[in-house]
Amino acid sequence: MSDIPFKNPGWAGNTGEFDLSEEEVRGEDFVGTRPVHGGHASGAGTMPYMLAKKDPEGVLFEGEYRERLDKILSRYPTGQAALLPALGLCQEIRGYVSPESMDAVAEVLDLSPAYVRGVATFYTMYNKRPVGKHLVQVCTNISCNLAGADEVVDAFLTYTDTELGQTSEDGNFTVIEAECLAACGFPTCVQINSRYFENVTPAEVPKICEHLKSERE
């Protein structure tokens, strides 16, 4: 972990009065240590869907990921019911869900490609094109907007030298706007990969980005 001080990383509704690390709040089992096969079947479908490590050419349903898919399937009565976590698995491996990935999911779940595409393109949480190591989703819905979310978006775009939806030249960041992230009491809320940052102000944006880079290193 970086020793850069954080006012409010947003884990478990941290309001800035506490100085807890992510490990302390979520438990060390969760932080970067859970296996790709998902552990027990009850947790196999609930892994973070956006990891920093992404392989756009990654093999989808082999080895430990096949094991993971089988565990997901064991929890649902039909392949159709397992469609969302299966798409999530594709995104976890490749960072986005391409038309080819959708076809692969259709085949493995015995569904029509048209049905899978209809579902995958309905949900905004499935990326339809590659994204950076850190997908920065800034909530610009009403509570966050009133608290200055537009300025937070601008600060991220300025720091990363990108436009909305564009990936930074170093491949580290893609910044997009998001609808309500269900943390309206802590505006502005920003979801970066699977992690929430709450009460974010424009001034904190460089510190957050530097923190993410230092974690990776």
Between 20 and 182, CB nearer to ligand FES: 182
Between 107 and 151, CB nearer to ligand FES: 151
Peptide bond before residue 201 is cis, with ω within 30 degrees of 0: no
Between 102 and 152, CB nearer to ligand FES: 152
Between 86 and 138, CB nearer to ligand FES: 138
Q: How far is the CB of 135 from ligand FES (least distance, A)?
A: 16
Q: How far is the CB of 99 from ligand FES (least distance, A)?
A: 31
Between 72 and 200, CB nearer to ligand FES: 200
Q: How far is the CB of 177 from ligand FES (least distance, A)?
A: 11
| Residue ranges binding ligand FES (CB under 6 A) | 139, 141-144, 180-184, 187, 189
The token pair at 12 is 């478990």
Residue owning tokens 């290193």: 217
Give the C-alpha distances (Å, rounded to integers) separating 34 from 40, 47, 87, 217.
10, 8, 19, 20
DSSP single-letter state for residue 167: B
DSSP symbols for 54-92: --TT--SSSTHHHHHHHHHHHTSSSTGGGHHHHHHHHHH
Residue at 207: amino acid letter: K
- Which helix (H) or strand (E) segment holds residue 191: the answer is strand 190-192
Q: How far is the CB of 49 from ligand FES (least distance, A)?
A: 18
Rounded to an integer, what is the distance from CA 18 to the centroid of its chain? 25
Q: How far is the CB of 144 from ligand FES (least distance, A)?
A: 3
Q: How far is the CB of 141 from ligand FES (least distance, A)?
A: 4
Between 104 and 144, CB nearer to ligand FES: 144
134-139 and 190-192 strand pairing: antiparallel
Please give the Cα distance from 111 to 120 (Å, whole number). Answer: 13
- Is the distance from CB of 53 to CB of 36 less than 8 angstroms? no
